[in-house]
Amino acid sequence: MRELFHQTLSPACRKIRLGLGEKKLEYAATLERVWEKRPQFLALNPGGEVPFLMDGGTGVSGAITIPEYLEELDCAIRLWPQTGPERTEARRLHEWFAVRCETDIAQAVLLEKINPRFAGARERERGPDMAAIRAGLDALRRMLDAIGTLSDTRNWLAGDALSWADLAAAALLSALDYIGDVPWAHNEAAKHWYMRIKSRPAFRPLLADAIPGLPPQRQYANLDF
Amino acid sequence: MRELFHQTLSPACRKIRLGLGEKKLEYAATLERVWEKRPQFLALNPGGEVPFLMDGGTGVSGAITIPEYLEELDCAIRLWPQTGPERTEARRLHEWFAVRCETDIAQAVLLEKINPRFAGARERERGPDMAAIRAGLDALRRMLDAIGTLSDTRNWLAGDALSWADLAAAALLSALDYIGDVPWAHNEAAKHWYMRIKSRPAFRPLLADAIPGLPPQRQYANLDF
């Protein structure tokens, strides 16, 4: 049995949960509080980060590496396109969402807003860095515009078929949506694309997420938001 | 003819130059001052970032995507291992060096030290952020220790053969080495690994780099440093 070690609001972990769901690969999900540095987890994964997938005796880590690993399994459902130029385009967008957008947006918005809640008194006093949050929200609007433009001309973001590019974008947006920070009115086409992907069966486990002490915003699980 | 648009001190660009060299794929290298937003470049690559590879009519961008693209070309020299578990290990290390280490080290050390030189008067007055530089140098020592441990037990970092993992690590270190910031004495095994990779023919174009107004430190091109 596969076991995915993850954190609820990590966009990279959400993407792997979506990918495993789309590919209909069974797995057990284990919430891992990485800051506790649990010895049993570090014994499996010395790097100590999530997402981390144990597949039989093989441990796989890395937000980019796990998708490549899953694509090389014997599984009929592919999330990379089968032709070279389309695959390169899907990888380019996947990298852009998973590395650049996650750095620019998630680190600014999620970490600045969430960490002070769980931090010590000194950190709480400092409060969130509003300039970082504003820069993150600017980058978020640019990401929504890119998604809108792509989904106006293609069925899914990288071409005809759903790919890891869609999953990376949706994973990041769903983490932000949990805390209520996605300005959906900013781009109607991006919202429509998100409604479609949010309605897929693979999304259901994410929509059931509820962090103790930090419930999702009201529309988080609503398919018609 | 392939054309690689790059910047001299970008670790990601250096990695692609090394990979093209190792694979003996001919290319023209074009220095691209991305901040000038040159219209001819943006017409090819709307994202405007480097590294960017034009290969015939195909444009490929992304520090992770370009290696995957090159590996799918018909080229006898492979920089991913041919067996699944070794390939996953090489991709994991490649991602760690190219995303995590580059974020933690290059952004802290390179950007803080280099950017003020080319910035306006107000930026220069601010001076470099010494706390960020110290955190980057701590991360650099951890990276050297990881390289030392890996190269003590393996021929190259991910296994028997040279891989993109080695190239990503060497590219980042060579960018730092250009400005003189690698504490080679910290880990003898890591230094020995770097001496080996620095001696390879694919490294020569990097060792010939010279930025106007910012010459490399004295030992930069020295194979016996």
B4 with B16: CB under 8 angstroms?
Answer: yes
Q: Which amino acid is at A161?
A: A
3-state SS string for chain B = CEEEEECCCCHHHHHHHHHHHHCCCCEEEEECCHHHCCHHHHHHCCCCCCCEEEECCEEEECCCHHHHHHHCCCCCCCCCCCCHHHHHHHHHHHHHHHHHHHHHHHHHHHHHHHHHHHCCHHHHHHCCCHHHHHHHHHHHHHHHHHHHHHHHHCCECCECCCCHHHHHHHHHHHHHHHHCCCCHHHCHHHHHHHHHHHCCHHHHHHHCCCECCECCCCCCCCCCC
Say how far apart CA B148 and CA B102 lie, in whole Å.
18
Pull the structure tokens for residue A55. 């597949």
* Statement: residue A121 has pLDDT above 60: no
Q: Give CA separation, A124 vs A109, A112, A119, A120, A222, in Å.
A: 16, 11, 6, 6, 32
The residue of B60, B73, B91 whose CB has the most chain A CBs within 10 angstroms, and thus the best one to mutate to test that interface, is B91
Say how far apart CA A98 and CA A88 lie, in whole Å.
15
pLDDT tens-digit profile of A172-194?
999 999 998 899 999 999 999 99
**How many other β-carbons are positioned within 10 Å of the β-carbon of residue A123?**
12
pLDDT tens-digit profile of B169-185?
999 999 999 998 899 99
Closest CA to A145 of A198, A188, A110, A87: A188
* Statement: residue A3 has pLDDT above 70: yes
Q: What is the mean pLDDT of chain B?
A: 93
| pLDDT (0 to 100) of residue A55 | 96
| pLDDT (0 to 100) of residue B150 | 97
Whether A62 sits inside 8 A of B87 (CB atoms) is no
- Structural domains of chain B sorted by starting position, each given as residue range(s) with its CATH number in brackets: 84-200 (1.20.1050.10)
| pLDDT (0 to 100) of residue B5 | 98
| Interface A-B: count of C-beta contacts within 8 A | 56
Say how far apart CA B44 and CA A56 lie, in whole Å.
44
The ipTM, to two decimals, is: 0.91
Chain A CA closest to residue B68:
A88
Strand partners, A6: A31
Q: What is the mean pLDDT of chain A?
A: 93
Q: What letter would DSSP give residue A217?
A: P
Say how far apart CA A170 and CA B209 lie, in whole Å.
41
Give me the residue label for tokens 């020295």: B222
**How many other β-carbons are positioned within 10 Å of the β-carbon of residue B150?**
21
| pLDDT (0 to 100) of residue B83 | 94
Give me the residue label for tokens 């001496």: B195
- Tell me the residues of A at the B interface, defined by beta carbons under 8 Å apart: 47, 58, 60-65, 68-69, 72, 84-85, 87-88, 91-92, 94-96, 99, 103
Question: Of residues A134 and B148, which shows the higher confidence score?
Answer: B148
Alpha helices (runs of H) in A96-186, residue ranges in sequence order? 112-118, 121-126, 130-153, 164-179
| pLDDT (0 to 100) of residue B117 | 61
- Chain B residue numbers touching A68 (CB-CB < 8 A): 68, 88, 91
Say how far apart CA A133 and CA A131 lie, in whole Å.
5
* Statement: residue A122 has pLDDT above 60: no
| pLDDT > 90: percent of chain A | 84
